[in-house]
Amino acid sequence: MAALPQFQIRWRDVTEVAQAITTGMTEEEAAAVSRLDRPLLVFIYDENADVDGDPRFEIEQHKAFQDDQVVIGARFFDCVRIDKTSAAKDRVLKPYARRSPSLVFVRPDLSAFKALKGKFSARSVYSAMCATMQKDYQNCVRTAVKKQRALQKELLKVNKMRVEVVTLNERIDDTESTRKRAKLVKERDALEKEIGVAEGRLNEREGAIYELKPRKTT
């Protein structure tokens, strides 16, 4: 399915080895990282893959990342782009840097869980997202997708209300009658208040969807 129009994946670019995934940590130090941190979705690209274009832009346009399930699932991850040369110097990413493009799913303890090499589809990316989350979190990506889609339907209703506000403002500007204008202003103000309440409620519900719930360790 097509991605929700107001959503897109936000990629963080790694431009220096010092910013790489492990940031020089040993395996012991990485294991002590807070489990409240988000897992990583790492895109390893060949900086010379296309002399006529930027391979980072290519991943943004990849149809797998235009899929609404993938876009929603990505909100559970810190999405990172790193070139093949830098990835080869990183302890976690090194095994996957030989072939690009590659997608590497990294758990919050900075251990690689799964990798997709070469061609990948929305289905394979989404499946890997779900599997990665299940390792450390109670959150279900599939449930998040359902809840986000439901919120989008409600947001569309709010957007229609905003269109009504614009229409009321136009009517207010065109109305010469003081009494009628006052009535329209009152109607507009009430609608704007309703919009504010609805948006606050939707933002609260949306925030709850992506609040990480780590699994209890034994």
Q: Given a cut of 80, is residue 122 above it in pLDDT? A: yes
DSSP reduced 3-state for 79: strand
Global pTM reads 0.78
Nearest to 132 by CA among 199, 66, 39: 39
Give the pLDDT confidence score for residue 202 in this predicted structure.
Answer: 92
- What is the Rg, in whole angstroms, of the alpha carbon atoms belonging to the chain? 23
User: 84-94 pLDDT, tens per residue?
Assistant: 888 888 888 88
User: 184-204 pLDDT, tens per residue?
Assistant: 999 999 999 999 999 999 999
Nearest to 215 by CA among 142, 109, 111, 125: 109
Q: What is the domain partition of the chain in residue ranges? A: 11-137, 142-209
Instruction: Tell me if 184 sits within 8 A of 172, measured CB to CB.
Output: yes
Torsion of CA 147, 148, 149, 153, to 10 degrees: 100
User: 30-42 pLDDT, tens per residue?
Assistant: 666 654 578 999 9
CATH class of 11-137: alpha beta
